[in-house]
Amino acid sequence: MGFELLGLSEPTLKAVADAGYTEPTPIQTQAAPQVLMGRDVLGIAQTGTGKTASFTLPMIDILAEGRARARMPRSLILEPTRELAAQVAESFEKYGKNHKLSMALLIGGVNFADQEKALDRGADVLIATPGRLLDHFERGKLLLNGIDILVIDEADRMLDMGFIPDVEKICERITKKHQTLFFSATMPPAIQRLTKKFLDDPKKIEVSRPATAGTNIKQILIAVGPRDKRKALRQLLRTEEIKNGIIFCNRKRDVKEVFASLGRHDFSVGQLHGDMEQRERMETLRQFKENEIQLLVASDVAARGLDVPDVSHVFNFDVPGHPDDYVHRIGRTGRAGRSGTAYTITTKSKIDGRLVEAIEALTKAKLPIDDNFKLERESRPGRKQDSDDKPETAPDDQDKRPARGRGKQDHRRDRSTERSSRDQKRWPRDRGDARLNMAPDDMPKEPFVGMGPHVPAFLQQDPDKKPK
């Protein structure tokens, strides 16, 4: 079935053809005609299924009629993260290029004044994260009584991020009768309650997840000792044929450390985590999308819904704590029908064992373990072995120890993290280390190479100054 059977207008079909799409995905086939008919939709689908176009394409045609008034947007799309909001905005630009729709993007980390100007000009499409939207609303800069279409995207992620109360507030403030399109990859009870409250006889559309379908994603489990995870990751990165890949860690701290470690081993790598400035995140994402960097180390929240087509590999550096996150993570590869590979690095610990079982229960499939995987010796000509290669400096063990009072070995490892200029700047804030005890003026401007954070006081004094 082609796009022309969905009921879309000629200019929209032309934009779709220009995007290179020949056939609609299942969610597009099912959702687009319902949206055009004005019906509420409950889409159980995750990113990678083509769900963004399933609502943007018909919305463009609906909104083509009529004009927005100042501060009264005609449609509102709520997204859990700034990156997703920015991606949806890009989709509107791509698919709406033959229309003259006005758009405003309200996301955190961006100047209020510019956003207010966009609202004043009138927006056919308003794309926002819930917190920032409410900020504008409460400042009286925005009226919600012109909304004809409300989209709540990635609702389960909104739940994980604690945004549901904000979403409810927003829904309650839209008093005009409107159409609601609601998307979620999973339907936990809190989300079901929300759909009952705010959707009016919705058309329910469910498309299978990559994890359950499992046809185009090769999933492999690698079991190593807790001290060998980075080594195992490097081995996979060197032996696999990787176009580009995303490496997921459970904690921000590990994202930073794995990023620094891979950089030190000469991999082309960027990082994405919640402590980064919005500008930095967008820049990293741009570099990754444009293949300027091959690998991206990311946390779940930061990477949620990233629209990076054609990712060849996903690596779970840690087994995710929630099985749903596994589904989301591996959904970054094998998108739009392409094939992909997802490696999960596990340890033999009971916790990892239970987490793997939870994934298997959710996906109703056994995760095949690669019994042939053996750690090989790394030969790095002309280069000293790095601190994190040595078993006694196990990163995973260190993480479990309190940040203060670590042993000597840690100093060597910390040196490695100094190489990232980005992390250098943030180091004192990010790390629970000895520098936190220093007053800001006492802090050395640059890390002391070779000493880690535990720099004896005498080394920080000006050598030319006589001791008092």
In the complex, what is the shortest distance from the CB of residue 309 to ligand AMP, in angstroms, rounded to a whole number? 4
**Closer CB to ligand AMP, 308 or 358, in the complex:** 308
- Please, what is the minimum distance in Å from the beta carbon of residue 40 to ligand AMP? 20
Residues 382-421 close enough to bind ligand AMP by CB under 6 A: none
**Binding piece for ligand AMP, criterion CB under 6 A, among 41-49, 150-158, 277-285, 447-455:** 41-49
Report, in Å, the least distance between residue 28 CB and ligand AMP. 6
Contact 31, 43 (CB under 8 A): yes
Query: What tokens does 177 get?
Result: 């009768």
Question: What one-letter code names the amino acid at 465?
Answer: K
Compute the Cα dihedral for 427, 432, 433, 435 and give only its sign: positive
From CA 330, how far away is CA 86, in angstroms rounded?
22
Q: Which span (16-24, 126-134, 187-195, 208-216) binds ligand AMP, by CB under 6 A? A: 16-24
- Quick one: 2 or 407, whose CB is closer to ligand AMP? 2
Report the 10 Å Cβ neighbour count for 338. 14
Long-range CB contacts (within 8 A, 24+) of 403-407: 403/431, 403/432, 403/433, 404/432, 404/433, 404/434
- Choose the binding region for ligand AMP from 35-43, 47-55, 212-220, 421-429 (rule: CB under 6 A): 47-55
Q: Which of residues 69-108 bind ligand AMP (CB under 6 A)?
A: none
**Nearest to ligand AMP of 305, 453 (CB atom):** 305
**DSSP letters for 93-121:** HHHTTTS---EEEE-TTS-HHHHHHHHHH
Site membership for ligand AMP, residue 335 (CB under 6 A)? yes
The residue (of 52 and 195) whose beta carbon lies closer to ligand AMP is 52
As measured in angstroms, the least distance from the Cβ of 352 to ligand AMP is: 29
Residue 2 makes contact with ligand AMP by CB under 6 A = no
Q: Taking a C-beta distance cutoff of 8 angstroms, is the pair 285, 83 a contact?
A: yes
Determine which residue in the list 53, 57, 150, 221 makes contact with ligand AMP, applying CB under 6 A.
53
Residue with the CB atom nearest ligand AMP in the bound state: 52
Which of 336, 361, 375, 459 touches ligand AMP (CB under 6 A)?
336
> Alpha helices of 5-50 — where are they, by DSSP H?
10-18, 26-36
CB atoms within 10 A of CB 109: 14
Considering the rule CB under 6 A, would residue 12 count as an interface residue with ligand AMP?
Answer: no
Residue 47 vs 299, nearer CB to ligand AMP: 47
Of the pair 301, 443, the CB lying nearest ligand AMP is at: 301
**C-beta closer to ligand AMP: residue 1 or 113:** 1
Task: Check if the beta carbon of residue 127 is closer than 8 Å to that of residue 104.
Answer: yes
Q: How far is the CB of 303 from ligand AMP (least distance, A)?
A: 13
**CB distance 294 to 268 below 8 Å:** yes
Among 6, 8, 12, 25, binds ligand AMP (CB under 6 A): 25
Residue 25 or 316 having the CB closest to ligand AMP: 25
DSSP-derived secondary structure for 242-296: -S-EEEE-SSHHHHHHHHHHHHHTT--EEEE-TTS-HHHHHHHHHHHHTTSSSEE
Task: Please tell me whether residue 50 binds ligand AMP under the rule CB under 6 A.
Answer: yes
From the list 8, 12, 15, 21, which residue makes contact with ligand AMP (rule: CB under 6 A)?
21
Residues 50 and 3: beta-carbon distance below 8 Å: no
Q: Which of residues 305-324 bind ligand AMP (CB under 6 A)?
A: 307, 309
Binds ligand AMP (CB under 6 A): choice among 49, 180, 294, 398: 49
Give the 3-state secondary structure of residue 65.
Answer: coil
Buried b (16+ CB within 10 A) or exposed e, 305-326: bbbbeebbbbbbbbbbebbbbb
For the bound state, the minimum distance from the C-beta of residue 328 to ligand AMP, rounded and expressed in Å, comes to 11
Site for ligand AMP in 240-299 (CB under 6 A): none
CA 141 to chain CA mean position, Å: 29
| Complex with ligand AMP: residue 21 or 373, whichever CB lies closer | 21
Length in residues, the chain: 468
Task: Restricting to residues 142-161, name those near ligand AMP by CB under 6 A.
Answer: none
Q: How many CA atoms lie within 13 A of 314 on its CB side?
A: 35
Tell me if 47 contacts ligand AMP by CB under 6 A: yes
Q: Does 334 interact with ligand AMP (rule: CB under 6 A)?
A: no
Of the pair 335, 415, the CB lying nearest ligand AMP is at 335
**35, 40, 41, 48: residue in contact with ligand AMP (rule CB under 6 A):** 48
Binding site for ligand AMP (CB under 6 A): 21, 23-25, 28, 47-53, 307, 309, 335-336
